[in-house]
Structure 1
Amino acid sequence: MKDYRDVIIRPVVTEQSVAAMDDLRKYTFEVPKQTNKVEVRQAVENLFGVKVEKVNIVNTKDKPKRYGRHTSTIHGFKKAIVTLKPGYQIDIYGEEE
């Protein structure tokens, strides 16, 4: 059995994902390429003690990046967008209230 901490690599914090956290109860996490929706649901529920309503998974593409005349590739990753049931929230930043 996998450890739940191996399923969630890190939270994805962008302007769009932070707006979804505040308004829509959607949290975005980077996950390993071989992870499925069931594993993500179990990991979030066990690590954060919340109830998950829905999980969506998106594979991001590789993107070319230029450094002057040299080019390289920013590798894509898999991200999971987790929607929580009403009344639940996750403290991504570790702030105590």
Structure 2
Amino acid sequence: MKESVTILKEALLTEKATMLSANLNKYVFSVSSFASKSNVKDAVEKTFSVKVLKVNSLVVKPKAKRDRARRNKLGFKSGMKKAIVTLKSGDSIDLA
């Protein structure tokens, strides 16, 4: 198993992720591209001492953007892998 430090990159604190954590006890993390669902589950349980019920993972593809500093040449935003982790009721993670 990989180290939990290399699997979990950061917690994503967007408006949608905040609503998921407040209403449905789900938390969104940016994870490394080689991480599997079981790796993410073990890393979250080890790091935050909570019980994980379910992990949904998805790959966000790179998005094409125009770069005005380079005469409107096409560039790309970096892609990433996200994991949405559902915790057992009663457990929570303090991300503040």
Identity of aligned residues (%): 40
Secondary structure, in 3 states, of the residue corresponding to 1:9?
strand
C-alpha separation between the residues in 1 aligned to 2:15 and 2:65?
21
C-alpha separation between the residues in 2 aligned to 1:70 and 1:76?
19
Secondary structure, in 3 states, of the residue corresponding to 1:46?
helix
Cα deviations across residues 25-80 of structure 1 (Å, max 9, x unaligned)? Answer: 01000111110000000000010000001000010011011222232100210000
TM-score of the superposition, structure 2-length normalised? Answer: 0.92
C-alpha separation between the residues in 1 aligned to 2:3 and 2:40?
11
C-alpha separation between the residues in 2 aligned to 1:71 and 1:15?
28
Range with greater deviation from structure 2 (61-70 or 25-34): 61-70
TM-score of the superposition, structure 1-length normalised? Answer: 0.91
Opposite residue 65 of structure 1, the aligned amino acid is K
**Which of 76, 81, 84 is 1:81 aligned to?**
84
C-alpha separation between the residues in 2 aligned to 1:18 and 1:65?
27
C-alpha separation between the residues in 2 aligned to 1:35 and 1:2?
8
Structure 2 unaligned residues grouped into runs of 5+: none
Q: CA deviation at 1:21?
A: 0.6
Runs of 4+ that moved beyond 4 A = none
Partner of 1:26: 26
C-alpha separation between the residues in 2 aligned to 1:81 and 1:25?
10
Let me know the Cα RMSD of the aligned residues: 0.9
